[in-house]
Amino acid sequence: MPTATAEKAYTGASIQVLEGLEPVRKRPGMYIGGTGKTGLHHLVWEIVDNAVDEATNGYASQIDVTLHKDGTTVTVSDNGRGIPVDKHPTKKIPTLEVILTTLHAGGKFDGSNYLTSGGLHGVGSSVVNALSEELTAEIRRDGSLYEQRYARGVPVTKLKKVRGGVRGTGTTITFRPDTEIFENTDLDAERIKEGLDVKAYLNGSLRIVFKDEAKGEKTEFHHEGGIVEYLDHLIAEAETRRIQDDPFFMQQEKLEGGARLELSFIWTEAPKERIVSFVNGIPTKDGGTHEQGLKDGVTKAVRNYIETHEIGQRKLEITADDIREGMVAVLNLYHTDPQFQGQTKEKLNNPEMRGFVGGAFRVEFEQFLNAHPTVAESIVARIIQAAKARQASRAAVQQVRRKSAVSHRLNLPGKLADCSSTDPSESELFIVEGDSAGGSAKQGRDRRTQAILPLRGKVLNAEQAGRKKVLENKELSNVVDALGCGLGEDLDVNKLRYHKVILLMDADSDGHHIATLLLTFFFRYLKPLIDGGYVYIAQPPLFRVDALKETHWALDEGDRDKIENAIKKKNPRANIEMQRFKGLGEMMPATLKETTLDPEKRRLLRVVIPEDAKIDTEMTISDLMGKDAAPRYSFIMDHAADVEELDV
Ligand code: TTJ
């Protein structure tokens, strides 16, 4: 069998490859930053970036990206020159195989004719190969189609000519991420589309076609206007308006240090600055020296312009922040030897770039200002306005406060019936089990100070689920969103929107179960709220006792018996009427208000962790919470001292 011989012929090479790529499979995180969703998508960008490089260098005009029906296999194809299939000059194997099986640092394929290279800051397509269960390379070159297949980085066939009479040239890579490496190999079409859109903006003449086979959907990305058009997109995204008609644009083919630069920017009415930067077409989320250079240049150029035109106002101090307020910029630097730093290597670190970018930009931008006096005027007016607004600091601070209060509200869960007060010290949040109880509570509440959040779906057991699952749970995330204070390490009690967080559950075992699950969650993720005394349990009555023209409410059987005895003492022949509530849902709103919601009449339990239990609470909680629900509620209630009774 030809395959068998091919495989045999490859034994020697396979061992070598295995050794070469072994570190990648052993510690994938070192090469792609992690094995979660982001790492997984890095594979796509690595392959796409190779094709984009071919386009950036002027050899390809179209890239096709297909996400296949299985949602994890991807094909990336370009119409470039095609990776060379001949034997590599120094190694004894084809160049294609060198590229796909050796870890090459620096991003340049052995000093090939690439001027710049993207990719995972140069770790290369061999990493993708190593982390793919299967990878197929197809090359169209010299009228023929060549093909080679790999599994987990190891060639399983030779590079062979599949057929002749092939028109055009190009490279096609199909790969399927390895399920042994990634927690989940499902790719996100939306995420890929967003990234491809940006690539298309950065290469105006490039056409990228994305096919989502699962959806039977085809999307084309082509932005002739390049990074100037990208500004329009960013302005629309920020829902703001431009304050100048003509954006600034510059392209510098030969920057000092052998780099190339493309930059567009514009001022808008937005309250912040937005700089979107790239190195070799790859996003530098954390900025770096190139961004710093741009910032320096903007400040200096504007200051110089204001001074030479004497439009400044003597008493008005203009800061760098005032100057950059509302500015939207796209900066793409091409560099043969970029150095990155930071946790995710998304920050450019070449120190000389600050001065090179800043200097080159400043010269051109000053020319632009002088050549467009009307534009310059509106820019300067915008900046002076920003400085004045800042100086009128009190008003500004208040405005920001109001804004953040508004945006705060925008994030609130849809099911929350919020209170109108924004003063946390008088605000209460009732977390209510079920929609019908939620309905009664909404009608019976004091709208000014009492908010109602009904829980419908299942509340997750935070003790058994991982953090990720917990955060994905809709009911729990609604609670967190309503509270507004964040959770875990990011929790900020100062942002808590209600100083009473009250669990309102049915007085039955289901209700106890939910209360327990919620308290487990609070204990694990919102403990400062318990420590701060913000968490309460409401006590809805289980019985209504009517006798001698009086109505009494009983929390449980014991309570009911006490009331009954008291009535009989008064009048042994009294006619006693008893009603047991099946659930909060069937209680009239007015009854709920009178017994449970009204601060004048209700009794709340404050949840506290007792001093002596503190040391081993960790243990107790995980012991109890991990298992069955029933003993847990009694644990909470058994610690009667934990839950001190308060009249509030
Ligand atoms: C190398 O120098 C000679 C001409 O071809 C150059 C090259 O490598 N071109 C190239 C690589 N075009 N396209 C690629 C490529 C495309 C994909 C989709 C994936 C990879 C790993 C490379």
pLDDT at 67: 98
- Share of residues in the chain with pLDDT > 70 (%): 84
Please indicate, yes or no, if residue 497 is contained in any of the structural domains.
Answer: no
Pick the catalytic residue from 22, 307, 510, 618.
510
- Tell which wins on pLDDT, 641 or 132: 132
pLDDT at 513: 82
Over residues 46-64, mean pLDDT: 95
Considering the domain architecture, whether residues 240 and 271 belong to the same structural domain is answered as: yes
Residue appearing with tokens 């107790």: 620
Q: Is there a catalytic annotation at residue 508? A: yes
Considering the domain architecture, whether residues 29 and 58 belong to the same structural domain is answered as: yes
Report whether residue 58 contacts ligand 1, using a CB cutoff of 6 Å. Answer: no
pLDDT at 584: 86
Residue 638 has pLDDT above 90, yes or no: no
Considering the domain architecture, whether residues 234 and 124 belong to the same structural domain is answered as: no
Considering the domain architecture, whether residues 215 and 272 belong to the same structural domain is answered as: no
Q: Dihedral of the CA atoms 97, 103, 107, 108 (nearest 10)?
A: -50
Report whether residue 624 contacts ligand 1, using a CB cutoff of 6 Å. Answer: no
pLDDT at 435: 83
Reported as a single tens digit per residue, the pLDDT across 81-121 is 999 998 877 778 899 998 999 886 433 333 333 333 443 33
- Span from the CA of 97 to the centroid of ligand 1 (angstroms): 12
Considering the domain architecture, whether residues 188 and 237 belong to the same structural domain is answered as: no
Over residues 461-474, mean pLDDT: 80
Report whether residue 625 contacts ligand 1, using a CB cutoff of 6 Å. Answer: no
Report whether residue 79 contacts ligand 1, using a CB cutoff of 6 Å. Answer: no
Considering the domain architecture, whether residues 89 and 235 belong to the same structural domain is answered as: no
Substitution candidate for ligand 1 out of 59, 75, 78, 210 with most atoms within 8 A of CB? 78
Please indicate, yes or no, if residue 266 is contained in any of the structural domains.
Answer: yes
Considering the domain architecture, whether residues 232 and 217 belong to the same structural domain is answered as: no
Atom of ligand 1 nearest to the CA of 128: 21
Report whether residue 322 contacts ligand 1, using a CB cutoff of 6 Å. Answer: no
Helices (H), 287-392: 289-308, 320-324, 352-371, 373-391
Residue 18 has pLDDT above 80, yes or no: no
d(C-alpha 331, C-alpha 237), whole Å:
18
Considering the domain architecture, whether residues 271 and 366 belong to the same structural domain is answered as: yes
Report whether residue 80 contacts ligand 1, using a CB cutoff of 6 Å. Answer: yes
Nearest CA to ligand 1 atom 20: 50
Report whether residue 529 contacts ligand 1, using a CB cutoff of 6 Å. Answer: no
Helix then strand then coil, in percent of the chain rounded to 5, is 45, 20, 35
pLDDT at 26: 92
Question: Whole-model pTM?
Answer: 0.61
Tokens describing residue 427: 């605000």
pLDDT at 520: 86
d(C-alpha 533, C-alpha 494), whole Å:
14
Four-residue CA torsion sign, 273, 277, 283, 288: negative
Q: Which of 482, 505, 512 is nearest to 433 (CA)?
A: 505
Please indicate, yes or no, if residue 66 is contained in any of the structural domains.
Answer: yes
CATH number assigned to the domain comprising residue 139: 3.30.565.10
Over residues 519-541, mean pLDDT: 90
Domain edge (last residue) among 168, 192, 221: 221
d(C-alpha 516, C-alpha 505), whole Å:
10
Substitution candidate for ligand 1 out of 47, 50, 98, 206 with most atoms within 8 A of CB? 50
- Give DSSP secondary structure letters for 459-512: PP-TTTS-HHHHHH-HHHHHHHHHH-S--GGG--GGG-S-SEEEEE--SSHHHH
Please indicate, yes or no, if residue 402 is contained in any of the structural domains.
Answer: no
- Tell which wins on pLDDT, 199 or 385: 199
Give residues with Cβ within 8 angstroms of 388, minimum separation 6: 316
Find the domain containing 111 and state its range. 22-221
Residue 613 has pLDDT above 70, yes or no: no
Considering the domain architecture, whether residues 254 and 369 belong to the same structural domain is answered as: yes
Over residues 284-301, mean pLDDT: 96
Please indicate, yes or no, if residue 156 is contained in any of the structural domains.
Answer: yes
Residue 39 has pLDDT above 90, yes or no: yes
Do residues 590 and 598 lie in contact, with contact meaning Cβ atoms separated by under 8 Å? Answer: no
- Tell which wins on pLDDT, 470 or 620: 470
Considering the domain architecture, whether residues 183 and 265 belong to the same structural domain is answered as: no
Report whether residue 309 contacts ligand 1, using a CB cutoff of 6 Å. Answer: no
Domain edge (last residue) among 390, 420, 449: 390
Considering the domain architecture, whether residues 217 and 232 belong to the same structural domain is answered as: no
Over residues 519-524, mean pLDDT: 88
CATH number assigned to the domain comprising residue 277: 3.30.230.10
pLDDT at 249: 97
- Span from the CA of 19 to the centroid of ligand 1 (angstroms): 24
pLDDT at 609: 72
Chain centre to alpha carbon of residue 569: 65
Quick one: 396 exposed, middle or buried, by C-beta within 10 A (0-12, 13-18, 19+)? Answer: middle
- Using alpha carbons only, what angle is made at residue 527 by residues 632 and 636, rounded to the nearest 5 degrees? 20
Atom of ligand 1 nearest to the CA of 77: 18
Pick the catalytic residue from 97, 197, 262, 506.
506
Q: At 610, is the pLDDT very low, low, confident or very high (cuts 50, 70, 90)?
A: low
Please indicate, yes or no, if residue 501 is contained in any of the structural domains.
Answer: no
The Cα diameter of the chain in Å comes to 110
Per mean pLDDT, which range of 258-262, 300-304, 313-317, 610-614 is the poorest? 610-614
Over residues 281-290, mean pLDDT: 94
Per mean pLDDT, which range of 102-116, 261-275, 314-328, 577-591 is the poorest? 102-116
Do residues 556 and 568 lie in contact, with contact meaning Cβ atoms separated by under 8 Å? Answer: no
Q: Which of 403, 369, 364 is nearest to 272 (CA)?
A: 403
Helices (H), 122-161: 125-130
Structurally, the chain folds into a number of domains equal to: 2
Average pLDDT, the chain: 85
Report which secondary-structure segment, H or E, holds 226.
helix 226-237
Please indicate, yes or no, if residue 267 is contained in any of the structural domains.
Answer: yes
Report whether residue 88 contacts ligand 1, using a CB cutoff of 6 Å. Answer: no
Please indicate, yes or no, if residue 456 is contained in any of the structural domains.
Answer: no
Tokens describing residue 551: 């109505």
pLDDT at 624: 43
Reported as a single tens digit per residue, the pLDDT across 174-200 is 999 999 999 899 999 999 999 999 999
- Tell which wins on pLDDT, 622 or 27: 27
- Span from the CA of 18 to the centroid of ligand 1 (angstroms): 23
Considering the domain architecture, whether residues 202 and 234 belong to the same structural domain is answered as: no
Do residues 125 and 119 lie in contact, with contact meaning Cβ atoms separated by under 8 Å? Answer: yes
Q: Is there a catalytic annotation at residue 296? A: no
pLDDT at 641: 34
- Using alpha carbons only, what angle is made at residue 416 by residues 413 and 419, rounded to the nearest 5 degrees? 125
Rounded to 5 degrees, what are φ and ψ at 93? -115, 165
Pick the catalytic residue from 142, 180, 220, 508.
508
Domain edge (last residue) among 344, 363, 390: 390
